[in-house]
Amino acid sequence: MVLLECKNLSIGYEKKVIQKGINFKIEKEDYLFILGENGTGKSTLIKTLLGFIRPLAGEIIVSKELKSSFIGYLPQTNAEQKDFPATVWEIVLSGCQGRLGLRPFYSKKEKERALENLKKLGMDKYRNKSFRELSGGQQQRVLLARALCAADDFLLLDEPVKGFDPKITEEMYALIEELNKKGMTIVMISHDLNAAKKYAKHTLVLERDRSLEI
């Protein structure tokens, strides 16, 4: 089943085109890598798919199933986020905010969801620890758990292993691969061609003047 399709899509900011003629499909339980150098529009494409930025041309066709689902998003982290003064539990639980509706509090079901995702990422024993006291790899696991709280079965990841050493990088890739095997649709921005060859079901390559699905 095709969840999302881009047809002759042009993306950019304030009428300045960064990338044009983008064509690809994302199917249910897919694992898509989006590869490209800096400045080729990878993060802009993700933000366009999420509706944060309007496409400059072309169309994005979204299935009814995806329209009715919650989508998890893990953006690139910055120094300010890494020093955020909150507990692990508070950050992960905040991933359920989109499910609150008009309620001012989290339900038992949402708290159970947050705990389940903490356990899934091996971070439940740190639930009362300050986020800023964790290592970079631990912080990324927490943020992934938060994204999973938001997601039903569709997850967008913007360079989730950027800046990590090979051991942590491999651990993160293994965790994400396991999520995909259990039914999560994954779209990942990356510079890592070797990882794409190993994990991706298909790959979209963005270059300075074109895009190519392989």
**pLDDT digits 0-9 by tens, 160-198:** 988 888 888 999 999 999 999 999 999 999 989 999 999
| pLDDT at residue 79, rounded to an integer | 59
- Tens digit of each residue's pLDDT (9 = 90 or more) over 58-85: 999 999 999 878 899 999 876 556 667 8
| Digit-coded pLDDT (tens) for 128-161 | 999 999 998 899 999 999 999 999 999 999 999 8
pLDDT at 67: 85
Q: How far apart are CA 149 and CA 70, in angstroms?
A: 9
- Is the confidence at residue 38, as pLDDT, over 90? no
Report pLDDT for 61: 96
- Report, as an integer, the average pLDDT of 199-207: 92
**Rounded to an integer, what distance in angstroms lies between the CA atom of residue 24 and that of residue 60?**
10
At residue 98's C-alpha, the angle toward residues 136 and 161, to 5°, is 20
